[in-house]
Amino acid sequence: MNKVPSEARVFARELLKNLKLNGDTKVWVFPPFVSLSVVKEIFTGSEFVVGAQNVHSQRSGAFTGEVSVPMLKDMGIDHVIIGHSERRHVFGETDQFINEKVKVALSEGMTVILCIGETLDERKNGKTFDVLKDQLTKDLEDVKIEDPDKLVIAYEPVWAIGTGVVAQPYQAQEAMAYVRERLGEMYSKDRSEKISCLYGGSMNKENCQELFLLPDVDGGLIGGASLKLDEFIEIYKTASKFC
């Protein structure tokens, strides 16, 4: 919940002017709902992709204050983040609700960035893999992946989000390797290798290189560092070299 529409307009213009995309490294930007149309208009005709931070599970109805998949699609928005840790832990979204969102978004041809991850207590109690398995199993229940490009998994250890604490490379790799292994069991090894997996959790220009070098990290879900234009550009440059 950062940048009012006027600030988002300025930021998007600066990003477009100062960050030249090259190669296969993609940049997807997820502004708040009120800034979607502003940012989408600025990035029209460029390779920048604009997505939404959240969506409801129903296509329409008496759900005051919510935003539906058809509403996003009508704006030309085809990417959405689902299950972010703040949606789970601040707003109490359940795996069942997240599963409903994933299914309706995919059924409408959207690309879903599904966020999963454990809390500090769960990690201390040795439950990291159990939590990841449980979330993947429930969030993707009855979800068929026809096109692996339509699903992106973002591993975000809750204890590392907004805290300045980043998972050690071995911690990130073992968790993300497990995620890909689990996806292979749910679908197929070939399919799991084609699904992009991102690391999210206090990634910045200082630590991004060692994370991007990990074999099961295909990119980053950048939070606070994405609000700083110069830093985000540095992260992009590093990603374009190593991802």
100 is catalytic: no
Q: Which residues are paired to 82 by β-bridges?
A: 114
Question: Is residue 135 within 8 Å of residue 85, measured between CB atoms?
Answer: no
Question: Residue 137 contacts by C-beta under 8 Å, 6 or more apart in sequence?
Answer: 182, 186
79 is catalytic: no
Nearest CA among 215, 200, 205 for reference residue 236: 205
Question: Is residue 182 within 8 Å of residue 138, measured between CB atoms?
Answer: no
Nearest CA among 82, 107, 104, 106 for reference residue 93: 82
* Token pair in block for residue 149: 């490009």
CA dihedral angle for residue 34, residue 67, residue 29, residue 200, rounded to 10 degrees: 120
Catalytic residue among 56, 79, 84, 93: 84
Catalytic residue among 93, 118, 122, 156: 156
Catalytic center residues: 84, 156
